[in-house]
Each structure stands twice: as C-alpha cells, then as structure tokens.
Structure 1
Amino acid sequence: MRRLRQLAERTPPGRDRYVDLLRALAIAMVVLGHWGVTVIGYEHGRPSGHSALPDLPWAWPLTWVAQVMPVFFLVGGYANAASLAARRARGGTATGWLVDRSARLVRPTTALLLVLAAGAAVATLRGADPAQVRTVVWFATIPLWFLVAYFAVVALTPPMYALHRRLGLAVPAALAGLVALGDLGRLLGPTALADGNYLFAWLAVHQLGFAWYDARSPELPRRRRLPLSRRAGATLLAVGLVALVLLATVGPYPVAMLHVAGERLDNAAPPSVALLAAATTQLGLILLLRGPAGRLLRRPGPWQAVIAVNAVVLTVFLWHLTAAILLVGLLDALGVLPTPPVGSAIWWAWRIPWLAALAVVLAALVAVFGPIEARTRRPAGPAGPPDRPPGRAPAAGAGDRGRVARRGRAATPLAVTGYAALVAGLLLNSLAPKSAPEPLGLPAPALVAYLAGAGLLRLLRSGWGSRG
C-alpha cells in the first residue's frame, strides 16, 4: 500500500487518469466475460469448454458493451502517441521507442509461452496425448489473438502517427472504408478480401486514440483532434447506436459482437463495420462519462486501485484462461466438477462460486508472474540502440558520427524484423489446429519465430548493434 501511495503521489498533473481507468475496466470485463460465459462439460470423457452465447440469444445485445477490444486499441493509441511524443521531445528516435516499447509486452508473454511449453513437454513425457496437450495449450493461448494485432499496430505507430499529424481524422475514415470493402468481399466474394480487416479495423480505432491525445493541443487543426465535449459524446453515441441497430437488423450483420457458432458472419473475426459502429457507440459513452470519472480518480483510493491493476494488467489478461484450466483440472481430479445445463437455475447459481474460485487461482498466478511485468519500467531518458544515452557519450569526430548514424539506421530494420517475428510466431500458433499433435503444445515454428523476435529485441534493448 505504501508503494501505491507513493506512485499515486508522484502522478504527473497532466496525466489523463481516465485512460488508465479504461484499460483496467476493459481487462476486468474481458476476464469476467470469458469466465462468465464459459460452459464446462465432458467430451470423450475429458473436460471441455465452450461459449454459452449460442444458448443465450437475449444476451447478444449486451456484447455491444462487453466487446471491449475497441477500448484497448483506443487507449493504446492514446498511450502510444503520448509515449512516442515524449520520447522525441527528449531527443530519442522512433526506433529506440519501438525497441523499448516492446519490453512490457514481450516479457510477460514470453513467460506465459515458456511455462506452457515446459508444462506441455512434461505432460507429453509422462504419456499424455499430444493432441490433448495441444487442445489445453490452445485454449490457454486464446488471449494471444489480441497481441497479434496489437504488436502490429505498435510497430506501425511511428508512420501512422506521422500520417495522423498530416491528415488527422481522415485516416480512420479511410481505414473504415477498407473494412467495409472487406465486408463486401465476405458477402459477395472473394472472402480473402476481408483478411485485411484484422489490421485495418484495429488501426482505425488506434488512430482515434492519436486524435484523443492531440485533443490536448487546441492550437492543432480540428481535423487532428478528437472533440471531447459532452455534446460530441452524445452525438457519437447516437450515431453509433443507430448505425449498429440498422446494421444488425436491416443489414446482414449478427447482433452479437462476439463469435456465435452458426451465424453467417462473425463481427469479431475479422472485425466488421458493425464492430466499428459498436466502437463508435462505446467512444460516445466514454466521452459522456469522462467528467464524472475524472472527478472520481482525483480521490486517492480509486486512483491507487487503478495503478495496482495497471501494474499487472497484461499478466491478468494473459493468464486468466490458464486459471480456468487449472481450476477445471483440479475439480475434475477431485471428482466434483459441476456441469449443469446452460441457462438452468443451477448453472446461474454456480456462476458466483465459479467466479470467486477463478479469482483466487488468478490471484495466485499474478502473485507469481506479475512481478515480471511490474518490474518493467520506461527509461527516464532516451534509450535503446539508436539513441545516445544522455551525458555519457564522448565527443566524436566526423568518422565516428558517421558510424553511429549507420548503426542507428541498421537498428531500424532489426527492430522491424523483431516485431515481425513476434507477430508471425503468435499468428502461427493461433492458426494451428487446436487438436494437432504438438508435444510442446505450441507449433515448433511458432515458438522459434516468437523467441527469435523476442531475443532480437532484447539484444537491441541491451545496446547490441549500436556499439563498435
């Protein structure tokens, strides 16, 4: 508690605490949503899980708020713009920012993958079916779908922020048009035209985060700023909600913003125009609640709680399905795993002890692995291979300056390669069949690609490639 009080007291006056609150709330909604709609049963004598949404159609409109991936990318855009701008103000470079920005994302993710691979290897050596091992690991790594897209938008932040500074809100509008074109491909063909929506949709929301950050600078042109007034919030809420209702009733889109088996389209995979309409609705609601939330966060207690969650926010996200696997395995081993029918009174009554038990297991996992994320701190000044540490570099002649510049330029493709390897590794794992026989639970090429990218970025953070 003392540490939290100290962090709260050192919060810069200009920090938008509401952004941190939104990140914490979004994580909480993802975790509770996944846990709450999970149905546990038995398949071929083994525990299995699936979503209850197909059996609860009345709950589909609730996903217009419960689908919080847009909130992640919105606040991510704000945070990335703020971090990049601060880095450049200190004399740093975009490449140095990219290298350092990877640390907090990569370290907790690497811990998850290595622990899962080690556990899978032990289970395989003890005679477990590699296909069953893969199924368990596949379920535990479902959250990595999000990181595939997020790593991509982080890597694209420097050029996309530069594009935002030039064209402003026209950029997310153009990206939304590309998403609409992808949807047209899903409806009329070719369906592959929609694959780009995985990137275009989340980039569009990420760009709105840039516009939110630039709203703090009234001297900038209006096209580069997100209007933050209550009137703007009400307008966005109304426009988004009307568009969403029309798209889900008159249009061809499902009501649910999450995957529901049997529906003609999936609003989330890949993201659709309907999901962007839901994001617009959420943005309007966020702006309307901005004032009251800001007043709440000026109180020490709520702000300290937000700091505590954000210190381990990625760890909570990455491990929450592993917590479910561990609890199901324990209850199954004890012979007390409840499997009531979806929607029955017993099923609803089981939600309360189920969520409470999962919270205990996740708290234990966060206690073990949370420090990996919490220890990651942004450097106080420019750092990374292409940036010169302040006050440490000796005077250099023209030849030395040329070599430093060449090494800085070389770091840029290395950093991009590192990010590309991360995305490739996570994507390969997500696309691999969930029942493929994998002794490590993860496809070997996926694990190698990811670890190669993580290792390369770690070397760059250490200064490798910038020294003679």
Structure 2
Amino acid sequence: MPAEATTVTRPAAQSLTHRFRTAARHIEKHTPEHRDRAVDGLRALALLAVPLGHWLLGGFTVRGGGALHNASPLSALGFLAPLSWVLQLLGIFFLVGGYSSVLSLRRSQERGGTTGQWLRGRLVRLGRPVLGVTAVWAVLLPVLALLGVPGATLRTAAVLVVQPLWFVGIYACVTALTPYCARAARRWGAWTALPLMGAVAVVDVLRYGPYAEQVPSWTGLLNLLPGWLFAYQLGVCWGEGRLRRRGALVLLAGGTVLFAVLVLVFGYPASMVGVPGETRTNAHPPSLLVLALAAVQCGAAVLLRDRIARVLRRPALWAPVVVVNLSAMTILCWHQTAMLAAAVPASRAGGTVAGLIGAPDSPGWVLARLAWLPVFAGVLVALGSVTRRFETSWRGTGRAARALAGALAAAFALYAVAVV
C-alpha cells in the first residue's frame, strides 16, 4: 500500500512542479525589462504581512450563548510584542506607495493626462474592491442572523472586516496629496519628512505629557495624516531621486536610536498593534514610535533595493511576487473574511478549538494558530478566485447593479459605524 501511494503521489507532485515552472517562465517572459522588481517585492512583502499579522495576533473567545469576541495573545503573552515590529510593515507599504504614485503621475502627465484624471483612476482602483467586500457583507449579515448567528458575533465580524479598510481611506488621502508631495520633494528632498515627524511628536507630548489630562481625547486623531504621510513622503522623495544611500543610512540609524529611546526611556508600549486592556496604543492613531519604526524600515528598504532586485531575477521567486501584487486589494479586503469563515462555523459547534476559538493565553495556542495559517490561506485563495473580479473594471456591469452595490455598501457602513 505505501508503494502504491508513492507511485500515485509522485506524478501528481511532479505535475504541480511542472505547472509552476511553466507559469513562472511565462511570467518571466512577459515581464518588461524596466520593471522595478525590488519595489514590487517590497510591496508584496508588506501586503502579506497584513493577513499574517492579523491571523497571528488576533484570536477569539466565546461568551454568552456561543458569541465570538475578539481577543489578542499579546494581552497574556507580552513577549510576542517584538513580533509586531516585523509584521507591522505599513512603513514599507506607504514608502513603495509614494514611490509608485509619483512615477505613475509623471508617466500620466507625459502622455498628456491631467492630475485629476490620474487621481480619479487611482481612487477608482482602490474603491472598487472596498465597495465589493462591504456590499457582500451587507447581504451576509442578515443571512447569518436568520441562521441564528448571535448579534455579538456579527458585530465582531463587522469590526474585523472594517479593521483593514481604514487603511484604504488614509491611503486615498495621501495619494491625493501626491502632486504637492512631489513639488516639496523636488525642492527640499527628504528633509520634507522631518516636519511630519515633528508634528506627530508635538501631538504625542500633548496627549502623553504632563498636561495630558487637560487635552481632549480626540487630539490623537491629529496624527492620522502626518503619521501615515511620513513614509509616503519618503517614497515620493525616493521616486524623485532625492532619497539615496546616505539618507537611507540616516533613516536606519536615527530611527533605531529613536525607537529604543521611546520604548526604554519614555515608556511607549512595545507592541505596534493595539492590546486589549491597554490605555495606550501606537497604531490607532500612529504615535511617534510608528514613525521611528517606519524610518528603520524605509532606510533598510532603500539600502537593500539592489540586492532584492537581484534575488527576484529568479523566475521561481518573481512569479509569486507578481501574483501577490495583482491581487493586492483582494488580499487586503478579504483576509479577515477567510479567518471568519473558519471561526464562525466552529463557534456554532460549541466548545473550544485549539488555535481558533479559546483564550489565546499560552504558547500552545500560538503553535496551534500556526497550524491554522495554511487553512486561512487556502480559504483566502478560494475567496480570491471569486472576488478578484472586484479589482477589474466594472464597465460591463449594469447601472442598476452598480447602484445596488453602492446602496448595500452604504448600509454596511452605517451598521459598522454603529457597532465599531
């Protein structure tokens, strides 16, 4: 019997290997010579860190009639905080976003396009997948309620679906500022990022300093734009040729020192993501620690660019990068749904499931969650095979269908605002 299984399995494995190699060669053949592989590789790395971070650092507990509630292993396993330094790669994402946007804008203008036309195209590409996922969830919520899923579980699901979508709104805002970022970069170079860091530092002093009790709670929201524009502006400078190795070294060294000082001297939370029960958070809105980490990431990315480009000359490594980049918004919008697709049915069965449902408070939970990652990834691939059409043009879709999608998305947005 083992010999027969080996005989059957080996041709199947060889067939999969052959298909992958054929696809990789096809992608390599159709990749333009001028394609910046390093930037695409960095974008793919930052993209994959989003679902990996949410899947590793997000757990579920069951309370009150089998209702799912969010939980985090960071609450009990504080030693995992450094893991968030690796998984929080939004600095790199905004860096390559700024780099790509300024080059895209330049090409559009060279073809005779206007800034408005360029911006409209970028925003439509961002908006279609968001409209798709929110419209689908607007239908799913009442269906799940009719099937007996508790309201608390639906609220948890809404929170998780919305969680990565805030990024799209911020990214759209900084994208709209690209022409102004480019002008500033051409005139003053990478120094243009320094006032953004200074603005975040001032707000942090206000909300964490000696007079914090007298400062309104919404003051931290002032960090949203400068906090996320910081790495984007560095990317624009990079694209304009105003950020080179010397500047990258300054970012890497200075960011490392600032990061250490903020954590060890000024008591900033070590985790880059929010921890339930903690009064302070670094990410929402971004604190100065987020910018320090972004500086380190951006400096390292610029310094490693040529080496990354050389590595990605290998077709077997380049092919996955292309696939991830082509599915960027699908990954961002649907990865939480993939995790919920496993957790919600399991919660209905009752009891706990190691690594999926149950208090994430032990190393055993971490090991079990690692075993769930391939399951989440498989579900995401299956979802993406259907939902990736939201990333393509909707020109063939009727006006009534587009209006319905908009109405459903608006209904989900109202629900999310009420419960998040």
Q: Tell me, yes or no, whether TM beats 0.5.
A: yes
Match of 2:373 among 355, 359, 373: 355
Aligned partner letter, 1:279: A
* 1:406-427 CA-partner distances (Å, limit 9, x unpaired): xxxxxxxxxxxxxxxxxx9999
Is 2:210 the partner of 1:194? no
Aligned partner letter, 1:32: L
* 1:436-463 CA-partner distances (Å, limit 9, x unpaired): xxxxxxxxxxxxxxxxxxxxxxxxxxxx
> Structure 2 CA distance, aligned partners of 1:429 and 1:209?
36
Match of 1:82 among 90, 98, 103: 103
Name the Cα RMSD after superposition. Answer: 2.6
* 1:56-112 CA-partner distances (Å, limit 9, x unpaired): 211212322221111111111011111101000111100000111123211111110
> Structure 2 CA distance, aligned partners of 1:353 and 1:61?
21
Match of 2:301 among 266, 272, 286: 286
Match of 1:17 in 2: 37
**2:62/2:358 contact within 8 Å kept:** no
Q: Which moved more, 1:97-106 or 1:325-334?
A: 325-334
> Structure 2 CA distance, aligned partners of 1:283 and 1:154?
18
> Structure 2 CA distance, aligned partners of 1:126 and 1:425?
20
Match of 1:366 in 2: 384
> Structure 1 CA distance, aligned partners of 2:132 and 2:167?
17
**2:181/2:236 contact within 8 Å kept:** no
Aligned partner letter, 1:298: R
1:160 Cα shift? 2.8
Aligned pairs, number: 376
- Normalising by structure 2, we get a TM-score of 0.82
Change in 2 beyond 3 A, CA 1:136/1:348: closer
Change in 2 beyond 3 A, CA 1:281/1:347: same
1:369 Cα shift? 0.7
Match of 1:36 in 2: 56
Match of 1:329 among 337, 344, 349: 344
* 1:176-214 CA-partner distances (Å, limit 9, x unpaired): 111111112212342433312111111121110001111
Kindly indicate which of the two structures has a greater share of residues assigned to helix. 2
Match of 2:235 among 186, 195, 209: 209
1:164 Cα shift? 2.7
Match of 2:137 in 1: 116
Give the gaps of 5 or more residues in structure 2.
1-19, 395-409
**2:98/2:233 contact within 8 Å kept:** yes
- Normalising by structure 1, we get a TM-score of 0.74
Q: SS of the residue aligned with 1:41? A: strand
1:125 Cα shift? 5.4
Match of 2:10 in 1: none
**2:185/2:240 contact within 8 Å kept:** no
Q: SS of the residue aligned with 2:136? A: helix
1:138 Cα shift? 2.3
Match of 1:319 among 310, 334, 346: 334
**2:133/2:333 contact within 8 Å kept:** yes
> Structure 1 CA distance, aligned partners of 2:44 and 2:158?
26
Change in 2 beyond 3 A, CA 1:170/1:15: same
Change in 2 beyond 3 A, CA 1:251/1:287: same
**1:212/1:226 contact within 8 Å kept:** yes
Change in 2 beyond 3 A, CA 1:72/1:360: same
**1:145/1:427 contact within 8 Å kept:** no
> Structure 1 CA distance, aligned partners of 2:415 and 2:99?
29
> Structure 1 CA distance, aligned partners of 2:412 and 2:33?
38
**1:140/1:325 contact within 8 Å kept:** no
Match of 1:438 in 2: none
Q: SS of the residue aligned with 1:251? A: coil
* 1:43-65 CA-partner distances (Å, limit 9, x unpaired): 11223231111212112123222
Give the gaps of 5 or more residues in structure 1.
216-224, 378-423, 435-468
Match of 2:323 in 1: 308
1:5 Cα shift? 4.5
Change in 2 beyond 3 A, CA 1:134/1:264: closer
**2:282/2:289 contact within 8 Å kept:** yes
> Structure 2 CA distance, aligned partners of 1:119 and 1:138?
14
> Structure 2 CA distance, aligned partners of 1:289 and 1:101?
28
Match of 2:157 in 1: 136
**1:145/1:430 contact within 8 Å kept:** no
**1:73/1:209 contact within 8 Å kept:** yes
Q: SS of the residue aligned with 2:419? A: coil
Match of 1:433 in 2: 419
> Structure 2 CA distance, aligned partners of 1:304 and 1:234?
31
Match of 1:50 in 2: 71
Match of 1:443 in 2: none
> Structure 1 CA distance, aligned partners of 2:371 and 2:38?
31
**2:51/2:332 contact within 8 Å kept:** yes
Aligned partner letter, 1:27: L
Q: Percent of counterpart pairs with the same letter?
A: 38
> Structure 2 CA distance, aligned partners of 1:119 and 1:345?
34
Match of 1:449 in 2: none
Change in 2 beyond 3 A, CA 1:376/1:311: farther
> Structure 1 CA distance, aligned partners of 2:68 and 2:303?
44
Match of 1:177 in 2: 198
Match of 1:27 in 2: 47
Match of 1:65 among 86, 89, 112: 86
**1:61/1:256 contact within 8 Å kept:** yes
Is 2:116 the partner of 1:95? yes
**2:105/2:115 contact within 8 Å kept:** yes
